[in-house]
Amino acid sequence: MRWVGAVVGLIGTAWLLMLAGQLPGETGAGALARQAAFIVFAVLSLAGAVQMISQKRPVYAALFFVLVVLSTCGLLLLLEAWFMAFAVVIVYAGAILITYMFVLMLAHQASDADNVGEIPAYDRRSRDPVAGVVVAALLAATITTVTLLGVSELQPAATQHEQLQASAELLEQLPKRLDHALAESDFIAGGDVTLTVRDDTVVAHSGGHEMDIADDDLPGSTSHVGWDLVARFPASLEVAGVVLLMAMFGAVVLARRQIELGEDELRASAGLAPLAPDEIEDPDA
């Protein structure tokens, strides 16, 4: 029965993700739908997290973590982080969780070979539950209090004008994209094109001519992320690559099972007949 619940939950979450990607504008029905979607995803992720840490079977814990990841991605979609949402699904739910599943199956199968179905004691009894929950509750209370008290002292959120300004600045650095945006009309780009923001639209100026740039031609959040990644943090990107490479080497070296094979086993694995005693050469001969 639990399997059915997990599968239905995953399918429902996937459907909600698709819905969240299509929510209409910022006001009216769109804003209401956003509120509703936030509540649904928040409840799903919290319930999944609580289920995850309280499941006796590690495999179920991993499945509930998939639910948490999917609902987190719904929240990222609500925050207009399209690329990150799907990157998290692919990397977390797709790759990392599969690794966990492999190791779980590896360990589970061997430990329960004689008594299948019995959950080991270390998955049934927790360690210092009261202390752990008290510490976690303190952390939750602290974070919640600080957030609710402090958020009104933050700098104000970026306005629409500032957002468009950032998009225009990025578009100026992407000549091909700018050409594409300008080529859709008969705007003749003579010489340098400068972009300014006027009344919630980006306007291109060149040699006395002006043209509004459509919202669809402005770089979206994915372009911004890509630009920031390579233009602002190139060294970090390289270091991340090195870290991944080293982790791969480390995992291979650590997990490799070292078996010392004798000469006969080596010959057998190569398809050769075992060494006959009279074939052994006497080194002194």
Judged by beta carbon, residue 155 or residue 269, the one nearer another protein is 155
Residues 6+ apart with CB under 8 A from 177: 171, 217, 219, 223
Residue 29 in contact with another protein, rule: CB under 8 A:
no
Class of residue 206 by CB neighbours under 10 A (exposed 0-12, middle 13-18, buried 19+): middle
Q: Find the part of the chain contacting another protein (CB under 8 A) among 5-13, 42-50, 206-214, 268-276.
A: 42-50
> What is the footprint of another protein within residues 178-197 (CB under 8 A)?
none
Residue 247 in contact with another protein, rule: CB under 8 A:
yes
Q: 73-110: b or e for each residue (b if 16 or more CB lie within 10 Å)?
A: bbbbbbeebeebbbbbbeebbeeebeeeeeeeeeebee
Count of C-beta atoms within a 10 Å radius of residue 149: 9
Residue 72 in contact with another protein, rule: CB under 8 A:
yes
Q: At what angle do helices 221-231 and 160-172 cross, to 10 degrees?
A: 60
| Residue entry with tokens 């080497």 | 249
Size of the residue set binding another protein (CB under 8 A): 87
Judged by beta carbon, residue 160 or residue 185, the one nearer another protein is 160
Judged by beta carbon, residue 163 or residue 206, the one nearer another protein is 163
Judged by beta carbon, residue 121 or residue 270, the one nearer another protein is 121
List 8, 29, 32, 46, residue binding another protein (CB under 8 A): 46
Count of C-beta atoms within a 10 Å radius of residue 151: 8
Instruction: Give least dist CB 63 to another protein, A.
Output: 11
Judged by beta carbon, residue 177 or residue 267, the one nearer another protein is 177
H or E element that contains 19: helix 2-21
- Give the E-state strand segments of 71-229 in sequence order: 194-198, 201-206, 209-213
List 32, 188, 248, 261, residue binding another protein (CB under 8 A): 248
Instruction: Give least dist CB 253 to another protein, A.
Output: 8
Q: At what angle do helices 2-21 and 29-54 cross, to 10 degrees?
A: 150
> What is the footprint of another protein within residues 148-177 (CB under 8 A)?
148, 151-152, 154-158, 162-163, 166
> What is the footprint of another protein within residues 221-240 (CB under 8 A)?
221, 224-225, 227-229, 232-233, 236, 240
Q: Find the part of the chain contacting another protein (CB under 8 A) among 15-23, 67-75, 197-205, 259-267.
A: 67-75
> What is the footprint of another protein within residues 74-133 (CB under 8 A)?
75-76, 79-81, 83-84, 87-88, 91-92, 95-96, 99-100, 103-104, 106-107, 110-111, 120-123, 125-129, 131-133
Rounded to whole angstroms, the Cα distance separating 134 from 155 reads: 33
C-alpha pair distances (Å), 119 with each of 55, 98, 122: 11, 21, 8
Judged by beta carbon, residue 88 or residue 193, the one nearer another protein is 88
Work out whether strand 209-213 and strand 201-206 pair parallel, antiparallel, or are unpaired: antiparallel
